[in-house]
Structures are given as C-alpha cells and as structure tokens.
Amino acid sequence: QVHLVQSGAEVKKPGASVKVSCKASGYNFITYGISWVRQAPGQGLEWMGWISGYNGKTNYAQNLQGRVTMTTDTSTSAVYMELRSLRSDDTAVYYCARVDGSEGAFDIWGQGTMVTVSS
Amino acid sequence: EIVLTQSPGTLSLSPGERATLSCRASQSLSSTYLAWYQQRPGQAPRLLIYGASSRATGIPDRFSGSGSGTDFTLTISRLEPEDFAVYFCQQYGSSRWTFGQGTKVEIK
C-alpha cells in the first residue's frame, strides 16, 4: 500500500527555519515527483513547489523563491522541505503529495505537519 | 498564472440532494490537467477527479466531473452524510499548480 508519512508538529520563533520530512513507501520512489502544499488555519490550499523523485529537479512557487528548499534522499525514499526566515503567516499545516506523472494530479497525500510560528 | 475561481463559496443542501460545484479558470486550460479534491475537517485532501472527468481509485460513481476550456463542474448526484466537506479544484501547467479557493458543502 502506498503511504506518505510526515514528521511531527513543530513550533518555531520568527526568523527561524523549519525542515519537514515526508517518507514514501509502497511504490518506486524515483518514478514520481512530490509536491508540497500548505494550508493556513481556516484557509485554502497553497501550492509551494515540486521536486522530481528521479533527479531532484525542483520548481518553486514564485512567492516562496529564496526561502524554500526541497530535497530528496533516494536511499531512504524521503523528501524534505525546508522553509527559512519564518514569519507568523507561515503558520499552517504542511502536506506532501505524490504527483501523478501523466495528469499532474496529487493522488496520495501525507497526513500533514502543523508548523506554528510564534514568539 | 492561471487563477481558478470556485462558486458558490458555500452550498447548503440536504442529504439525498444533488450538488453542482463550479470552477472557472482565468484562461483556457487543458482538461487533462484539471482535478478535484475533497477535504473533510481535520483530514488531508483526497483526490476525487483527475483529467476533468476521470474518477480516482475508490471514488463512488455519485461523483462526476465535466467541462472544458475555462468552465468545469463537479457534480455529486445524491449527497451522502460523508460528502459534506470542502471541495477544491486544481490545475496544472508548466510544472506549476494552482488551487481554487474552495466550496464548502454544508448540511441545510
């Protein structure tokens, strides 16, 4: 069975960094990409970026360029999302999602990681 | 960037009724890259429809998607209690994705 399991909740101070992990199982990791999506409390879904499981190529949302970095570790089938210079409006649930290669839909989602930014 | 606008913001219906949700794109997009998701409170989103009209694995046939160009529709033929949730449309193009703002289907 295909699963994406994310790391646990984080509390950070403004200006700090956070790194969230997403471990994949049940499929060939290198044949799919992973996207990250975040959801502020009571708000909608915001796409943050995508990373290829094959070669680590990335594509980030313009509003996060320079603050976000996504990486993979193919030896452990894990994807990491690091967000720097955290602000209070980065408080959100962060999801990783597997990207279907042909239609671009997000067919499998992680359980979500709550990141709280507060002084 | 393609902007997706969903309507209505909230839909108040009773179990057994038909729900029709709209997603309008700011420019024409390929039907291949239009998807719908359901999100229940406290849960991660779940893929319902991809390619505008194909049901994802395990999705009941009361869910259907249609549309092309700039206008897309998600229809739930007969609402079940578990269908009261928030629904998002999503588009993909040039290795970038955007979501609509969501439609909440609530019990009347």
Rounded distance between C-alpha atoms, residue B5 and residue B98, angstroms: 11
User: Phi/psi at B53 (nearest 5 deg)?
Assistant: -145, 0
Contact between B21 and B62 (Cβ < 8 Å): no
B24 to chain A, any CB pair closer than 8 A? The answer is no
Contact criterion met (CB < 8 Å) for B44 and A61: no
Contact between B67 and B5 (Cβ < 8 Å): no
The beta-carbon neighbor of A103 closest among B50, B96, B99 is B50
pLDDT score of A82: 98
Instruction: Encode pLDDT of A75-117 as tens digits.
Output: 999 999 999 999 999 999 999 999 987 778 999 999 999 999 9
Rounded distance between C-alpha atoms, residue B55 and residue B53, angstroms: 7
> Which of A106, A107, A111, A113 to mutate to test binding with chain B, by most B CBs within 10 Å of its CB?
A106
Instruction: Encode pLDDT of B38-75 as tens digits.
Output: 999 999 999 999 999 999 999 999 999 999 999 999 99
The beta-carbon neighbor of A45 closest among B1, B56, B88 is B88
User: Phi/psi at B26 (nearest 5 deg)?
Assistant: -75, -15
